[in-house]
Structure 1
Amino acid sequence: MNPTTIANNPALVVGAIFLGFILLELACGCFRQAKGQWRDVAIEVIGSSLLLGLTFPLVFFLCDALLEHWAPQARGALSGVPWLAGFGLLLLGDDLTQYWWHRLSHRVPWLYALHRAHHSAPYMSIRIVYRNNSFYYLLMPGIWLSAVLVYLGLAEVYYVYLIIKMTVIFGAHSSLPWDDRLYRIRALRPLMWLLERTISTPATHSAHHGQNAADGVTHYKGNFGNLLFFWDVLFGTAKITRRRPQAFGVENLRPVSWQHELFWPLVRRRQPAKVVAPGALGDGGGQ
């Protein structure tokens, strides 16, 4: 299978790396989470399956078909650009736009309603990487722009870019804190200082998923970066503590059904009311 075929089916690449991290967590005994419920399993299995099996292939198919109809002469127009330039275009078109999409999702109520499932999990794990509403990725600009850049001739670059990005993102969400041991090695301190300001790590990204804002680590209004944490450094939303929160989730989030989290606004179903603290978050507000 050539790079063009793979790039036009990114789910193949993403799925393979995803499976690798699942097997790693299983081998380490940390894939099954003690705090998880069957609703969490449903959200994670259905959400991940929809992205990899439907959304990703659909977006790339539609972009290819529409551009072939409207701009056939543009196919491969960027195939001659230097490799690093193509990689830079993907960083801007995919990763930078995803940073802003993620940041807006924590500011705009209806976008947060599409993203809240990602934060309602009471744990960090490879399981939650694609734990989002079914419309969250369909509307994400970066996926569409990536498909456009592949059409324009960056298929081979995208193949490498996708492997790097998914490895970093999966590693940042994983329950295995790979950065923790590296921080303890004195000789690596300069490298880790640079690394944690460049890419997302378990420490910086777990802070974004922390439950308690007063714990000194949690930073759910920042640390939005996916591949590059540098965007947070650049735009002033970074917090680096080299520690992980003691609890994950969202404080005082009004409970809703797993169908609501996956398919809002088509499904609107709250769970039985629970006693929450004053000022509890509504369906679309919050972290």
Structure 2
Amino acid sequence: MWTSLISAAVLGTCIITLFLLERAFPLRQAKRALAGRLTVNLTFGIIAFATVSLIVRPVAEATLGWTSTNEFGLIRLHMIPDALRPVAAFLLMDLTFYWWHRANHRLPLLWRLHNVHHFDPDLDLSTTFRFHFGELAFSSAFRVVQIGLIGPSLATYLVYEVIFQLGTLFHHSNLRLPIRVERILVRFLVTPRMHGIHHSQVKEETNANYSTVFSFWDRLHRTVRLNVPQEAINIGIPGYAEPQDNRLGNSLLAPFRLQRDYWPREDGHGSRRTNATGKPGQLAP
């Protein structure tokens, strides 16, 4: 109980702080009114919280109980020293989330659900809560595989969950950090500028920067792209860029309808990047 209360207090403080900071120091200019987007995204968040509480969390906790009782999981291999097992489990949790995120972009069934997160026309803290309940329900199956194969301790699992949530809030925020600071942070962590590129309307940029906490997974998998100026990024999905696409009912029903071509603009051509700067691995302002 105390763990849950402390986690909620930490996350709540982070949400309030980031919300105020991104209002004071915005990274990108908003295209749509905040009030309307907040209504949609926070409603998604309420439904997401219910889905996680009723499905995802019980499945994760049951899998944790099974791996603990049966002493099952990669981190229990004798070749891993006891002192390094929490570190190994933490890294494997983050690596597998990289793979899960990438799968959500590559597999058509998962993408039609995850796409709802991406066709938010702006990217800020509220976008953190905009995940379709179908995507979260499917993620419970991933959790069984992830936790079952890794076998983290309850303590490691809880620590990772809190840091995962903090990282997700941070990199979805529209907070403008000094570029020198962010260039240092992005060597290790996913930052707002890095994740902003991931929400670009350019297909090749959306299919990059999949990491959640540690940014080096994208470098290891050669999916990193950092050299796009933030003012050159148009957030969203071209095929779902009309105002009515982001109304609550249409957003919730979108995965269950015939899918449009995601990437063409109004002129019928896909968005392309012509104004990248420097090397792909160097963060642009």
TM-score by length of 2: 0.70
For 1:262 and 1:128, locate their aligned partners in 2 and report how far apart those are by CA, in whole Å. 15
User: Which region of structure 1 is more displaced relative to structure 2, 126-135 or 246-255?
Assistant: 246-255
What residue in structure 1 maps to residue 44 of structure 2? Answer: 47
Q: Which of 244, 249, 253 does residue 236 from structure 2 map onto?
A: 249
Of the three residues 225, 238, 243, the one matched with 2:211 is 225
Which residue matches 1:128?
127
1:163-174 equivalences under 5 Å are 163-174=162-173
Q: How far has the Cα of 1:252 moved from its partner? A: 3.8
| CA gap 1:221/1:265 in 2 versus in 1, 3 angstroms | closer
Q: Which moved more, 1:231-240 or 1:203-212?
A: 203-212
Question: 2:64·2:147 contact (CA, 8 Å) conserved in 1?
Answer: no
Deviations 1:30-86 (A, max 9, x none): 999452476633431122122234314532223435776x7783389989x746422
Q: Which residue pairs with 2:156 in the alignment? A: 157
Equivalent residue for 1:91?
91
- How many Å separate the matches in 1 of 2:198 and 2:266? 22
Task: Please tell me whether residue 200 in structure 1 is matched to residue 190 in structure 2.
Answer: yes
Partner residue, 1:18: 15
AA aligned to 2:268 is P
**Residues 1:112 and 1:25: Cα distance change in structure 2 (over 3 Å):** same
SS class of match (2:133): coil
Deviations 1:159-202 (A, max 9, x none): 3323333332222111112252526xxxxx7xx1xx42322112
Contact 1:197 1:233 in 2 (8 A): no
Q: Which runs of 5+ in 1 are unaligned?
A: 184-188, 282-287
- Long gaps (5+) in structure 2: 272-285
Query: Is the Cα contact below 8 Å between 1:179 and 1:203 reproduced in 2?
Result: no
1:35 is aligned, of 32, 37, 41, to 32
Q: Paired residue for 2:70, among 74, 84, 87?
A: 74
Q: Which secondary structure state, in structure 1, belongs to the residue aligned with residue 45 of structure 2?
A: helix
Percentage of matched positions with identical amino acids: 24
- Corresponding letter in the other structure for 2:91: L
Structure in which a larger fraction of residues adopt helix: 2
Secondary structure of the residue aligned to 1:137 is helix
Distance, in Å, in 2 between the alignment partners of 1:280 and 1:30 is 25
Matched-pair contact (CA < 8 Å) for 1:87–1:158? no
Q: CA deviation at 1:219?
A: 1.6
Per-residue deviation at 1:238?
0.7
TM-score w.r.t. the length of structure 1 is: 0.69
1:270-281 matches, cutoff 5 A: 276-278=266-268
**Aligned-pair CA distance for 1:127:** 0.8
Distance in 2, matches of 1:44 and 1:237, equals 28
Give the deviation of 1:102 after TM superposition: 1.8
Q: Equivalents in 2 of 1:72, 1:179: separation in Å?
A: 44
Q: Distance in 2 between matches of 1:75 and 1:13?
A: 31
Map residues 89-128 of structure 1 onto 2, 5 A cutoff.
Answer: 89-92=89-92, 94-128=93-127
Using the alignment, how far apart are the partners of 1:130 and 1:97 within structure 2?
21
Query: In the aligned structure 1, how far is the partner of 2:64 from the partner of 2:165?
Result: 26
| Mapped contact 1:119–1:250 kept (Cα < 8 A) | yes
Separation (CA, whole Å) in 2 of partners of 1:245 and 1:50: 32
| C-alpha separation in 2, matches of 1:85 and 1:52 | 30
* Residue number among 203, 219, 222 corresponding to 1:236 in the alignment: 222
Contact persistence 1:252–1:277 (CA under 8 A): no
